[in-house]
């Protein structure tokens, strides 16, 4: 099996930007959010199972998951959140396992936004990569990118583990607090370390 890196970070930290650079450099990138979106598209097994479990009211007219309504539900109802996870997590894990086995790149990056919160994929990954930035930057990016109000952004951040807790689990850290040029420089250096590790070289430490 190839070297597997689990990539995580708080909302607005820049996980997608880091993953895109690593993919461009030659890594196989498996994004669990993208898999979840695909599974809950019209006619897909995740959407079908959610409709059966929660009712057709949680699907859009085209049969896809109504993400806004489901998000509101799981934020206010922990039992509903567990029920949703019980449906989707095994489906997502099966696709991730298949993608890892099929990978031919020197190493594989699995993007898992709630890696620390759920503990998922820790058994598969040899290293944890955390994309980090200040909470102020998170807030600014989330409100600008997602069009969310400050209260909604704070609620999402509060539902995730703290920045300190996430960093405590990190084997590698990318600080995304400057511009894309600086970010790319940092990620390229990390890519070289992962290549060395994948070839059996010394640990990046």
Here the CATH number for the domain that contains residue 13 is 3.40.50.300
* Residue 151 tokens, joined: 């209260």
107 versus 136: the higher-pLDDT residue is 107
Structural domain containing residue 125:
3-27+105-198
How far apart are alpha carbons 119 and 21 in whole angstroms? 25
* Residues in Cβ contact with 41 at an 8 Å cutoff, skipping those fewer than 6 apart: 47, 64
* Residue 84 tokens, joined: 């949703």
Q: Could you tell me if 157 and 138 are in contact, meaning their C-beta atoms sit under 8 angstroms apart?
A: yes
pLDDT at residue 112 greater than cutoff 60:
yes
User: Does residue 111 form part of some domain?
Assistant: yes
**Out of 22-36, 47-61, 138-152, least confident range:** 138-152
User: Does residue 144 form part of some domain?
Assistant: yes
What is the number of structural domains in the chain?
1
């Amino acid at each position: 099996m190839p070297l597997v890196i689990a990539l995580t970070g708080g909302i607005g930290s820049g996980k997608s930007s880091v993953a895109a650079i690593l993919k461009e450099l030659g890594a196989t990138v498996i994004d669990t959010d993208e898999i979840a979106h695909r599974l809950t598209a019209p006619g897909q097994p995740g959407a079908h199972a959610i409709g059966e479990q929660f009712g057709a009211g949680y699907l859009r007219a085209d049969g896809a998951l109504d993400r806004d309504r489901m998000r509101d539900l799981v934020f206010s109802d922990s039992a509903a959140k567990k029920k949703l996870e019980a449906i989707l997590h095994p489906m997502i894990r099966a696709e991730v396992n298949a993608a890892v086995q099929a990978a031919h790149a020197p190493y594989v990056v699995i993007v898992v936004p709630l890696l620390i919160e759920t503990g998922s994929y820790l058994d598969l990954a040899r290293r944890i990569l955390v994309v980090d930035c200040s909470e102020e930057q998170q807030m600014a990016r989330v409100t600008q990118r997602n069009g969310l109000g400050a209260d909604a952004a704070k609620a999402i951040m509060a539902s995730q583990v703290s920045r300190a807790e996430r960093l405590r689990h990190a084997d590698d850290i990318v600080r995304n607090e400057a511009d894309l040029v600086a970010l790319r420089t940092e990620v390229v250096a990390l890519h070289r370390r992962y290549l060395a590790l994948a070839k059996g070289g010394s640990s990046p430490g």
